[in-house]
């Protein structure tokens, strides 16, 4: 399917508003046109610099603006990160992401980050990093170090953005994505749902992603994990309700698949709270990537045994495994 870049907000909203069965069927059809529906990419994310972030993102336990009990730490040494990446690879991860709780990358940290990226790349893993805002030159240096993907989420649609964060503008996020593309790196960009936004806000987020100059190569959909001490987390915890209805979450996955047909749509934060049945519906609706490893920055994920059992019961396999085990591939070795 040829991607479109001219989606209107009303068109994306209309996708959301379709009967559920029709929407999921349409998304599954789009998914099968571009991907093997039995394959899922496995990614692992490590917080290489935790806490003390100057941003005031209302969902984030790592913001210095909120009292969440999280202690700020220094940037990890490259050797430690590379060792963690080796463990991730040996545990089945195909892609290793490094996240730092910064508003923007400082030039002084580039040499250590370059060592991390080069070491992880040498292990045969795809490399990804999320380090806050970048300058054009920093993006080029990360590319030269071997970084494959840069993650910089839009979080939500522009209309709701001011209710989530005020220390960074929407345009600044778009600018960093432009620098990443110009440097020749792949983009990893998605958002968070369940922050009190409306369906139209979710449609607006996906329209923004689908009308970028190129669609995100990786599109993570995060379900809010409410953290005590954060404004958005406290609002959800006070109400005592789920951050987002499960069926509405599946709708979001399905619409993401339809409007960005070539993107890797990833189940990200919140998967630990999802039932096996909900995850199965998400895979049916076009999700084909997950984070593994038991932890996503500071929030929990299912353990390896749980994920292995889920894959076995759903007849899923890690992406590329069938090709790697094909007779001609074995003979070539």
Q: Which residues are catalytic?
A: 53, 57, 60, 97, 128, 188, 266
Cα gap 254→286, rounded to integer Å = 6
144 DSSP 8-state letter: H
Cα gap 45→95, rounded to integer Å = 9
Cα gap 169→112, rounded to integer Å = 28
| Burial degree of 140 (CB within 10 A; 0-12, 13-18, 19+) | middle
Cα gap 304→291, rounded to integer Å = 11
Please report, for residues 84, 126, 189, 233, 322, the alpha-carbon distance to residue 88 in angstroms, rounded to integers and kept in the order given: 6, 12, 22, 29, 20
Alpha carbon 212 to chain centroid, angstroms: 17
- Beta-ladder partners of 96: 44, 127
Cα gap 154→190, rounded to integer Å = 6
Pairing of strands 149-151, 186-188: parallel
CA Rg value for the chain: 19
* 49 within 8 A of 76, measured Cβ to Cβ: yes
* 224 within 8 A of 195, measured Cβ to Cβ: yes
Pairing of strands 299-300, 295-296: antiparallel
């Amino acid at each position: 399917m040829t991607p479109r870049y001219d989606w209107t907000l009303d068109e994306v909203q209309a996708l959301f508003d379709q009967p559920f069965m029709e929407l999921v069927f349409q998304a599954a059809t789009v998914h099968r046109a571009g991907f093997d529906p039995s394959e899922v990419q496995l990614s692992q994310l490590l917080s290489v610099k935790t806490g003390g972030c100057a941003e005031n993102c209302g969902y984030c336990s790592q913001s210095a603006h909120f009292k969440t009990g999280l202690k700020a730490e220094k940037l990890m040494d490259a050797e430690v990160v590379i060792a963690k990446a080796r463990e991730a690879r040996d545990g089945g991860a195909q892609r290793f992401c490094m996240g730092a709780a910064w508003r923007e990358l400082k030039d002084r940290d580039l040499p250590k980050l370059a060592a991390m990226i080069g070491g992880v790349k040498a292990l045969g893993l795809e490399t990804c990093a999320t380090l806050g805002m970048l300058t054009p030159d920093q993006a080029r240096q990360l590319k030269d170090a071997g970084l494959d993907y840069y993650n910089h989420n839009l979080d939500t649609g522009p209309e709701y953005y001011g209710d989530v964060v005020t220390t960074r503008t929407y345009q600044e996020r778009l600018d960093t994505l432009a620098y990443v593309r110009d440097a020749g790196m792949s983009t990893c960009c998605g958002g968070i749902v369940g922050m009190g936004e409306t369906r139209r806000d979710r449609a607006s987020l996906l329209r923004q992603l689908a009308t970028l100059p190129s669609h995100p190569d990786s599109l993570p959909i995060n379900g809010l994990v409410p953290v005590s001490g954060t404004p958005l987390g406290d609002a959800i915890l006070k109400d005592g309700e789920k951050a987002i209805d499960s069926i509405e979450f599946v709708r979001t996955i399905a619409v993401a698949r339809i409007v960005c047909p070539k993107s890797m749509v990833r189940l990200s934060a919140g998967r630990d709270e999802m039932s096996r049945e909900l995850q199965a519906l998400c895979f049916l609706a076009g999700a084909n990537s997950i984070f593994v490893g038991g932890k996503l920055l500071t929030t929990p994920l299912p353990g390896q045994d749980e994920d292995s059992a889920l894959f076995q019961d759903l007849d899923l396999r890690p992406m590329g495994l069938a090709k790697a085990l094909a007779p001609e591939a074995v003979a070539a070795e």
